[in-house]
Structure 1
Amino acid sequence: MTRKPTVILGMLGPTLDTGKTPERWSRWRPSVALCQHEDLLVDRFELIYQGRFEALAGTVMEDVRHVSPETVVRGHVVDVDDPWDFEAVYGALHDFARSYPFAPEREDYLIHITTGTHVAQICLFLLTESRYFPGRLIQTSPPKRDRAELAAGSFTIIDLDLSKYDRIASRFHKEQLEGVSFLKSGIATRNAGYNKLIERIEHVAIASRAPILLMGPTGAGKSQLARRIYDLKKGRRQVSGDFVDLNCATIRGDGAMSALFGHEKGSFTGALKDRPGLLRKAHEGVLFLDEIGELGADEQAMLLRAIEEKAFLPVGSDREVRSEFQLLAGTNRDLSLEVAAGRFREDLLARINLWTFRLPGLRERVEDIEPNLEYELEASARLLGVRITMSRDARGRFLRFATSREALWPGNFRDFNAAVTRMATLAPGGRIGVDVVEEEIERLSEAWRRGRAAGGVGSAGGGVGEASGGVREASDGMGQASDGEDVVVAVLGARRAAVLDPFDRVQLAEVLRVLKGARSLSEAGRVLFAASRAKKKSVNDADRLRKYLARFDIDWSGLVGDGG
């Protein structure tokens, strides 16, 4: 494996590093000694100093070049009026860290904390611990008198473990809260479970480069959160490349392989020129694959190798291409069921399932509807270029409806955003009144009624004054709505569903959920009867499932076509 270049960042020590005459070589000078160790190869040294020590800094840099010709030495002037003023020193070093072009995926950084004032050393420690300096600490010591042959002294590299520094880490609690707020787009959410979830995501996003899997229903905010995770990591200089995203449901066959992995000119009909592919575009950045469960078997196999080995073959090429990227994946499917059904690779799921987070739908977060209303009103104001307000009565009416059982929100926050946008657009003079709210409630209710009548739950949209009867935000297949109860209503109708025992209703909802993703009754039966069928000498899953459905007068062929 190729060694990454080692870069040291350190403060000039006006006392310890001093010396102009030849006698200076008989003294231990920490900055120079750093580059005299045979077991520490320094490729670049970034020396930070105050402008009034320009001459001493020049001498030290020349001496480093003398003892280690292979080391590139660069000086950086960072001035503060009082080197013992904690706020001033921290602010100056913080600004330096934010402007320095760190590339941790290509270089290893060591932060020297032996020189400079004690205040500077503490600030370097804190900035490294908070990852503004994305490296490890290095501390040096002079040679012992009885071991004069070790003129360079000794050094210790410290790899910070945050769990050992709880008191210091607490100083960054505010910064962590800022990161959490950033991931929530600044919305002061109130749902305790969601807030805890975002806190965990913030911690993992900063601490890990492993794949992250975001699960949840359509419109729950997976795409927006993925982009925010990237922006957070970019702000902390943990990635330097681009954010590249793809909805896997939009690609198939050769187009999928080419879009992801690229192709060479002439590799297939229509390949008129080379194409780099999205994995290469995401080099040193973040790749977000939404609806990853829609990828075909070949793409899954190639993606697994790209994740594990950071290498892959473009279509039509026999030369490997490398790409260092972090994968974020999104899905509204239960991938474990997809594995059981043979549609998703078990080894790929194991690889992307290290950090899995399920985003709740809007109906699971009714406490957050009001703060999200404020956010959407402000977003609509920016979009329309006018100030948007809502009368007290209008706000109360909308919130009562939005948080009630009448409000289905099958498209979750996507539907919610559309509703607020429509009200803001129709509001006379930018003020939303009760009449506008009542019109929107009627539009939403009618769209959802049409969706149920058509076998699913509709998402309101389309032109002003009418709902779009054809667009549905229900999850894929068979009218599956955002919860199991609605799919029973969609298949049986409200009257028949109402007379079912709760036990039968829950069981039937699960059966219908599996059926919606199966290509045949046999395939669905293998999932539903996985435990009991192993104890039978002969099985007929399709017949067993067909008889179960007959109890409710449900015909498989009437749902998705003839199966079995």
Structure 2
Amino acid sequence: MKKNVVLGFLGTNLDAGKRRRWRPSVQICQHPDFPIDRLELIYSRRWQGLAEKVKSDINAASPGTEVLLQLINVRDPWDFEEVYGAMFDFARGYGFDEEREDYHVHLTTGTHVAQICWFLLTEARHVPARLVQTGPPRGEDPGPGSYQIVDLDLSRYNLLQQRFDTVSREYSTLLKGGVETRNEAFNAMIDRMEVVTSGSDAPLLLMGPTGTGKSDLAARLYELKLQRRRIKGRLVHVNCSTLRGERAMSTLFGHRRQAGAGGVSDRRGLLQEADGGVLFLDEIDELGLDEQAMILHAVETGKYLPLGSDYEVTSRFHLIAGSGQDLAESVAAGRFRADLFARLNLWTFRLPALHDRPEDIEPNIVHELDRVEKLLGTRISFNADAHARYLRFATDPGTLWPGNFRDLGASVQRLCTLAPRGRITTRMVDEEIVTLKTTWAVAGADPDMQLLTDHLGAQAQDIDAFDRVQLATVIRTCRQSASLSAAGRTLFAASRAAKKSRNDADRLRKYLEKFGLDWAQCRS
């Protein structure tokens, strides 16, 4: 059976009996249901006499309790830095044996500063103990008073844990935009994101195809950080695909008037605007390598150099980066800095495409209906058969939703706007499905395949993908050239330079004949 060990300060007023007859360091050892095998009594040298007297009184009242006097000299017991440092050194040198002993910290004695230090050291597990709070007996009760053991593992307290769980669900709902999502992988990602956002200031990287909600999620992450009081500033959203060259530097980092950036006055820059808040760099892979280097320096040091300035300025912000491309591939291709990717890749969250979350399509349709209701100011709903028809199409594995939630939101908004008397009918759903399929067919069409189909008709389907790209290039060159010879010179320029090509026109003619084409057909 483990021994009970209590650590506590000598109470220079209470243990001396100056206020009442109750003396906490003595009477904590007199609870039959809380036997103490050893009491470590901490005191300063000036109170040596009182410490010896308290030890003697404990030995008389509780002979089974061993009292060890621990001398810690503190000049000012109200100086937090001095007290904490002394207690920290005591804890490090104590030699806790948790396999054989259970430790408790007596909070009742000592200054308020000492009590705060006990709590901090215990909560950080520098002192592997539970807290004990004692109180005097009530009325005329001659007993030792009361005691309460407080365990800082808050998960042990059911009501507190229920409150924590409720708050966590509220934060998760915030990050999901109020949508009751059902996809287990997505919900697990949101839960992990909530934990990371609430406990870390490190950069976050959101990756996923266009339309998966990276911008909306970044705004919700900002709101969560604001609620958790991790930030005080604003959210600055930057679409990096709109920044090019010197304008990118000036927009992000600002410039001084003499920098020649086209301005007549100083410009703060968006990094300065994000000071104390969140900087969301959407499409961060579109930044140039120089801008990436400066972003990395700003993230790591909180400082950067505006254009034309001789002095760095300070901006402390939380960074959220978004990318529709795989940054690891961009690093391999030399388009993205490996050191910046390493900094961003600490917390990477990949947002799945809509067609990978079919179980979440229905609740998102409901969410879009609510959104459009606020937009249009009227309640709109599906007829039962129309809803079934639309949901069947939306969740079909062959429906890819290339624009993801943007496509879904636009589709529901079209249906609601055109709905007579607030009801969406089956006919409207069928028309919308045709609209979506037509739009996707045009947007996703292969331009090379379209060109070959124009010239070869259905036979284009029989050409290998390897040959399609080459043949399409040949046809485009023929269209842009004045003659067969001119097209040959363009297509076989490298061979001619190496003196490997003798008759470019004849070579091109024979290539076209392989596919049943001639010069005139390519030009038509």
TM-score (norm 1): 0.56
Residue 420 of structure 2 corresponds to 428
Residue 142 of structure 1 corresponds to 109
- Code of the residue aligned with 1:245 in structure 2: it is H
Residue 289 of structure 1 corresponds to 281
Residue 239 of structure 1 corresponds to 231
Matches of residues 521-540 of structure 1 in structure 2 within 5 Å? none
Distance 1:261 1:275 in 2: 8
Q: Deviations over 1:254-280 (max 9, x none)?
A: 111111111111311412111111111
Matches of residues 171-250 of structure 1 in structure 2 within 5 Å? 171=162, 172-250=164-242
Choose the corresponding residue for 2:435, options 434, 443, 451: 443
Distance 1:356 1:151 in 2: 43
- Code of the residue aligned with 1:305 in structure 2: it is H
1:339 shift after superposition: 0.9
Aligned length: 347
Residue 356 of structure 1 corresponds to 348
Change in 2 beyond 3 A, CA 1:317/1:402: same
Residue 416 of structure 1 corresponds to 408
Residue 82 of structure 2 corresponds to 39
Q: Deviations over 1:236-295 (max 9, x none)?
A: 211111011111101111111111111111311412111111111111111110111111
Distance 2:321 2:193 in 1: 14
Q: Does the alignment pair 1:258 with 2:250?
A: yes
1:336 shift after superposition: 1.0
| Stretches of structure 1 lacking an aligned partner (at least 5 in a row) | 1-15, 42-137, 144-149, 456-477, 480-488, 509-549, 554-564
Determine helix, strand or coil for the equivalent of 2:251. Answer: helix
Percent identity (aligned): 47
TM-score (norm 2): 0.60
Contact 1:408 1:448 in 2 (8 A): no
Residue 167 of structure 1 corresponds to 156
Residue 388 of structure 2 corresponds to 396
Contact 1:216 1:332 in 2 (8 A): yes
Choose the corresponding residue for 2:337, options 331, 339, 345: 345
Distance 2:112 2:352 in 1: 61
Contact 1:183 1:198 in 2 (8 A): yes
- Code of the residue aligned with 2:272 in structure 1: it is R
1:416 shift after superposition: 0.6
Residue 330 of structure 1 corresponds to 322
Choose the corresponding residue for 1:378, options 348, 370, 376: 370
Distance 1:151 1:412 in 2: 57
Q: Deviations over 1:393-443 (max 9, x none)?
A: 111111111111342211100111000011111111221111221111111
Contact 1:141 1:153 in 2 (8 A): no
1:160 shift after superposition: 5.5
Distance 1:331 1:213 in 2: 8
Distance 2:364 2:462 in 1: 33
Change in 2 beyond 3 A, CA 1:151/1:338: closer
- Code of the residue aligned with 1:392 in structure 2: it is A
Distance 2:387 2:210 in 1: 26
Contact 2:279 2:319 in 1 (8 A): yes
Distance 1:452 1:496 in 2: 17
1:350 shift after superposition: 0.4
Stretch moving more, 151-160 or 286-295: 151-160
Distance 1:374 1:165 in 2: 38
Distance 1:139 1:411 in 2: 62
Distance 1:180 1:318 in 2: 45
1:454 shift after superposition: 5.0
Residue 379 of structure 2 corresponds to 387
Q: Deviations over 1:41-88 (max 9, x none)?
A: 9xxxxxxxxxxxxxxxxxxxxxxxxxxxxxxxxxxxxxxxxxxxxxxx
Contact 1:265 1:272 in 2 (8 A): yes
Distance 1:205 1:37 in 2: 31
Q: CA RMSD in A?
A: 3.7
Change in 2 beyond 3 A, CA 1:494/1:349: farther
Contact 2:250 2:261 in 1 (8 A): no
Distance 2:152 2:321 in 1: 29
Change in 2 beyond 3 A, CA 1:392/1:241: same
| Stretches of structure 2 lacking an aligned partner (at least 5 in a row) | 1-10, 25-75, 85-104, 126-150, 469-510, 515-524
Distance 1:152 1:207 in 2: 27
**Max Rg structure:** 2
Q: Does the alignment pair 1:279 with 2:271?
A: yes
Distance 1:496 1:208 in 2: 55
Change in 2 beyond 3 A, CA 1:233/1:37: closer
Contact 1:261 1:278 in 2 (8 A): yes
Greater fraction helix: 2
